[in-house]
Chains A and B, each alone.
Chain A
């Protein structure tokens, strides 16, 4: 049974006459990596600020672990909103020690573990002001995850990271999600990255949540996957069903679309041939999250 970690119900936020958030609702289930997608000023950060109570909520309701969000509930949340914050003149270790005291964590080994986890072991005695942008992002993440939160909120965490930093950060997030079972709400306008890490997506446009979709549904909608052209689709469908257990759609009497790019094409080819099926072609059909987003926003603008 899925457990709802965060429930955002009909929240709105205005700054003067400008409506930054307009009646937004969504839920996060345990284990989700929920990617919030939207252009600059769409309202992603405002939503995160409302969840963390850095912005006062006047309209709507936010529930965390089934109770109305309050300071007590926030103890289960780690967050990096806008930019990672740390005391510049304190070292990496001192900044984390500070958080440990603040959160009542007495185990000093935990600080060492977290520093290792985020890959800052060599910078342990470096003052925060002397860290590179990527290292500061890691420190921000370390500060957020030190109290072992159930929910991690990350606002544009890969901004300013170099390509290798982005790859490492992606690995870190997956590790957090899989090893520590942390549910993650993440925003970014680098959609290729969000696609790589997220399991669900929410599209924000002009303060409204215009679409929610799972990664699976997105791949299906994008027709992403492997397109298989064979001489006998019914027999091929049986083999795929039995041997690979991946979701697929029989497109016509020659083509099957397997809704996964994770399947090994050579293994699939071998299985089909061994079962007497002639494989005419096997191609990757890949549309991106950007394509989906562009179509979605384009459709709304033209409506």
Chain B
């Protein structure tokens, strides 16, 4: 499986799309921090309250603004899904991969890990860009450096994990429908649909499946500690079930 991970990283490093995604992450973060604005979608009023745009921003405020704006990242990172999993199917190179001695389980897990690691690294770059931009504008840290760096690391990890759950589900959708387009559309629609249903239908249990909002709320400390593990364990369970189902589907699929 390690070889498959190395293979995918080699391939991605030779793909223009990954560098464009990186540029977007850097540019987006730099604009948010330098212009004192908050972008993205699904920004709730309680999360906005965390930020006072009238005061002079510190580096910590920049990170908070980047976190609030990170909802857009899930869409920017669709490219990672397409490049990591989609290309294998659109160019039918999965035939070479699956005859290379890798098991179906290893195939699914390695694809998931490649996406997770990529999203994590890009998120780190996204937040570090905010710090660098703030430093270039001679802003104060707003907290201790260790706390700031710990926040960046934790937020990147949380965002990467919850986005990867959505991408994991998209792998299953792709395998079930044999369509990269459907898989990609799922990534676009899933967060919007869950948030909309949550707001309209008032199904409180849906909050556990509103993966991206959860990521932001956790990062901004808006979820009480006693509920935190409910969110994380449900997401882990969804991810596990998704991976198991994906393996079952790919084992029984005419490839």
Contact = CB atoms under 8 A, between A and B. Distances in A.
Contacts of A79: 95, 99
A87 B92 CA distance: 9
B255 A54 contact: yes
A87 B255 CA distance: 17
Given A55-B254, A55-B255, A87-B87, A101 B95 contact: no
Interface string B1-45: 001101100110011100000000000000000000000000000
Interface in B90-104: 91-103
A56 B251 contact: yes
A74 B100 contact: yes
Given A94-B14, A143-B96, A72 B91 contact: no
Nearest to B98: A54
B226 interface: no
A102 B254 contact: no
Given A55-B254, A55-B255, A102 B98 contact: no
Contacts of B14: 89-90, 94
Nearest to B2: A104
Interface in B68-115: 87, 91-103
A145 interface: no
Nearest to B251: A56
Interface residues of A, number: 32
Interface in A227-280: none
B3 A101 contact: yes
A103 B255 contact: no
A103 B102 CA distance: 9
A102 B16 CA distance: 21
Q: Pick from B3, B10, B87, B101 the residue with the most CB of A within 10 Å.
A: B101
Contacts of A75: 100-101
Contacts of B91: 85-88
A58 to B, nearest CB: 9
Interface in B241-255: 251-255
Label chain A's interface by main secondary structure: loop
B87 A102 contact: no
Interface in A84-121: 85-90, 94, 97-99, 101-104
Interface string A70-86: 01101101110111011
A2 B78 CA distance: 53
Q: Which size bracket describes the interface of B in this complex?
A: 20 to 34
B11 A74 contact: no
B140 to A, nearest CB: 45
Given A55-B255, A98-B7, A85 B96 contact: yes
A43 to B, nearest CB: 14
Contacts of A187: none
A53 interface: yes
Nearest to A149: B99
Nearest to A15: B254
Contact of A56 (B7, B87, B92, B252): B252
A160 B222 CA distance: 62
A85 B93 contact: yes
Contact of B10 (A52, A72, A85, A98): A98
Nearest to B5: A101
A26 to B, nearest CB: 20
B101 A72 contact: yes
Given A52-B99, A74-B100, A90-B14, A102 B7 contact: yes
Given A54-B255, A86-B91, A71 B102 contact: yes
B4 A86 contact: no
Given A71-B101, A75-B101, A102 B4 contact: yes
Contacts of B254: 49, 54-56
Contacts of A56: 251-254
Interface in B190-222: none
Contacts of B252: 56
Contacts of A85: 91-96
B99 A102 contact: no
Contacts of A101: 3, 6-7, 10
A81 B10 contact: no
A75 B3 CA distance: 13
28 contacts: A52-B98, A53-B98, A56-B251, A56-B252, A56-B253, A71-B101, A72-B101, A78-B99, A79-B99, A82-B92, A85-B91, A85-B95, A86-B91, A87-B91, A87-B93, A89-B14, A89-B16, A90-B14, A94-B14, A98-B10, A102-B3, A102-B7, A102-B97, A102-B100, A103-B3, A103-B100, A143-B96, A147-B100
Given A49-B255, A53-B98, A55-B254, 11 more contacts: A49-B254, A55-B255, A56-B251, A56-B254, A71-B102, A74-B99, A75-B101, A82-B92, A82-B95, A85-B95, A104-B3
Interface of B: 3-4, 6-7, 10-11, 14-16, 87, 91-103, 251-255
| A-B residue pairs, 7 tightest by C-beta | A75-B101, A54-B255, A85-B92, A102-B7, A85-B93, A101-B7, A71-B103
